[in-house]
Amino acid sequence: MGTMKTFVKYAIWIILFWIFSDILIYAGINSTYKDIESKGKIPDGIEVVQVQATTVNGRIKLKANNSLSGKFLKVDLYSSRDNILGTQYIEIGNVSENQTKEIETYFKISEVKSYQISVVDEPGESTVGFMDTAMTALSVLVLTLKVLFI
């Protein structure tokens, strides 16, 4: 009975340490993101929820209403010297009446200081460095297991 209690205590300590370290990692990573400024006017129908960057990557979260249905968003990222670092075209798709569509994208481009968003009818060529989804803990675990066993 004593060894079972010891085992349960160790299991609880491991779980508590895991939770504590996850909280610290989450706080540490999110504290490195800083808001970046917009160059120019945000188009009508677009609500900027979050545009943040670190020195090596960033994230963009927007909301588009139904007036932009079927169009594309052009996102340009700029350096501190106004050099264009990257461009991405995001399809808005069909948005129902009185609805909004949440748009989320991530980028791995260094030293981004400002951005510009515009609405276009046709997509152009996107540059390398943009991702549609962030690496979640589950996707990292699956990728790690895949690499280890294959």
Annotated domain spans of the chain: 1-31, 34-134
pLDDT tens for 36-51 read 999 989 988 899 999 9
pLDDT band at 29 (very low <50, low <70, confident <90, very high): confident
pLDDT tens for 75-111 read 999 999 999 999 999 888 887 788 888 989 899 999 9
The upper half-sphere exposure of residue 116, i.e. CA atoms within 13 Å in the direction of its Cβ, equals 14
Q: How far does CA 74 lie from the centroid of its chain? A: 16
- Dmax (CA) for the chain in angstroms is 71
Residue 17: pLDDT over 90: yes
Residue 13: pLDDT over 70: yes
Given the DSSP bridges, would you call strands 37-38 and 114-120 parallel, antiparallel or unpaired?
Answer: parallel
Residue with tokens 């675990």: 141
Supply the pTM of this predicted model.
Answer: 0.72
Length of the chain: 150
DSSP string, 26-61: HHHHHHT-EE-EESSPPPTTEEEEEEEE-SS-EEEE
* Architecture per CATH, 34-134: Sandwich (2.60)
Per-residue pLDDT at 113: 94
Which token pair is 17?
């340490």
Nearest-angstrom CA–CA distance, 45 and 150: 47
> Taking Cα atoms as reference points, which of 117, 48, 56, 110 lies closest to residue 88?
117
